[in-house]
Amino acid sequence: MTRHDPHPEPNGASVGAGPGAAAGEVFGPPPAGADPLTVELAATAVTAAWAAAGIVAASFEGEHRSVETKTSATDMVSEVDRAAEAAVAAVLRERRPDDAVLGEEGTERSGTTGVRWVVDPLDGTTNFLFDIPQFSVSVAAEVDGETAVGVVVDPCREETWAAVRGWGARRNGSPCRVASGRSELATALVATGFGYRAERRRWQAEILGRVLPAVRDIRRLGSAALDLCWTAAGRFDAYYEWGLNPWDLAAGALICEEAGARVEILSNRLILASAPQLFGPLEELLTHAGALSAPEGPEPRYW
């Protein structure tokens, strides 16, 4: 495959264009009267996400040394995860040193500005380590506790998904919309994901066995951020998953919402995102399937 270097220069700036120009290509021109802080956060998010994506893309299909485990033997982290998060952290230190940061791989600091960055430097690590081209970098900025900016980069497909609250969602700079009105429950293509612990997966398989006969089909591709983005673009009709952490969904959920989807975290940390007319029927199906009564356990870490 052709490896994608979304940002060839080390500082994350595209050749021949400053960070403002890069953000304009991703988010489109800011609307009249746009908050300068939001514009700055959008530019920073693009630069940080592309800096990490360049590291991830350059390492794909290579040797991933120093692989360790976290919550279980199947929950892996590689030196590439950490290097990508370090690249994001470096951009944020330079541009927004007083903001708070929460990163999956341990970058965590408090801030004084009301802005918090939520970062997943490599969402889909298992796919990455098995040379499966389905993973992403996710960077979101919260302002006073509400996600304001989200960027998800898919290095393998050279796709940058982005949204600013109130501006709409875009893929590579072009607007994207959820597939509203295309499917009913019986014809809905639904994505999902599974936890790392065996007891979680056993319970999720039981739920899946009740959901699958009621919909068109199920997809499980391995990157929550991309599942949300693909729902935003109509590649999926809906997505559900139990027990995500903030870095898994912050950017993707905003992109999905800005594309016209309904996105909610239901009882027992079940996230559901879908075209608006499917949300009610899917919520009812999942409720009857038992998806809102997950077994007790330590996952996830941050709620």
Last residue of a domain, one of 144, 175, 206: 175
Q: Say yes or no: 80 and 114 in one domain.
A: yes
Q: Determine the Cα–Cα distance for residues 213 and 186; give it in Å rounded to an integer.
A: 8
First to last CA, the chain: 38
Amino acid code (one letter) for 135: F
Quick check: is 101 in a domain?
yes
- Residues of the chain under the 50 pLDDT cut: 1-19, 69-76, 302-303
CATH of the domain at 205: 3.40.190.80
pLDDT at 23: 86
Structure tokens at 49: 């996400």
Quick check: is 302 in a domain?
no
Q: Say yes or no: 200 and 138 in one domain.
A: no
Q: Is the peptide bond before 300 cis (omega within 30 degrees of 0)?
A: yes
pLDDT at 41: 97
- What are the angstrom distances between the C-alpha of 149 and each of 21, 76, 79, 169, 302? 17, 28, 27, 10, 20
pLDDT at 253: 98
Q: Say yes or no: 191 and 169 in one domain.
A: no
Last residue of a domain, one of 149, 175, 201: 175
Q: Say yes or no: 60 and 79 in one domain.
A: yes
Q: Say yes or no: 163 and 207 in one domain.
A: no
* Structural domains in the chain (count): 2
Quick check: is 301 in a domain?
no
Q: Say yes or no: 267 and 167 in one domain.
A: no
Q: Say yes or no: 230 and 148 in one domain.
A: no
Going through 79-225 in order, the beta strands assigned E by DSSP cover 100-103, 108-109, 115-123, 136-143, 146-154, 159-164, 168-171, 174-175, 189-192, 217-219
Amino acid code (one letter) for 101: V
Q: Which domain, by its residues, includes 280?
A: 185-289
Structure tokens at 206: 């039981």
- 123 in Cβ contact with 221 (< 8 Å): no
pLDDT at 65: 54
Q: Say yes or no: 33 and 133 in one domain.
A: yes
Distant-in-sequence, close-in-space partners of 45: CB < 8 Å, separation ≥ 6: 23, 139, 140, 141, 149, 150, 151, 162
Q: Say yes or no: 93 and 211 in one domain.
A: no
Q: Say yes or no: 145 and 24 in one domain.
A: yes
Question: Could you give phi then psi for residue 294, rounded to 5 degrees?
Answer: -70, 150
pLDDT at 179: 94
CATH of the domain at 126: 3.30.540.10
pLDDT at 297: 58
147 strand-pairing partners = 142
pLDDT at 180: 87
Q: Say yes or no: 76 and 95 in one domain.
A: yes
Encode pLDDT of 190-200 as tens digits. Answer: 999 998 888 88
pLDDT at 300: 52
Quick check: is 32 in a domain?
yes
Q: Say yes or no: 263 and 123 in one domain.
A: no
The C-alpha angle 281, 234, 181, rounded to 5 degrees, equals 50
Last residue of a domain, one of 141, 175, 209: 175
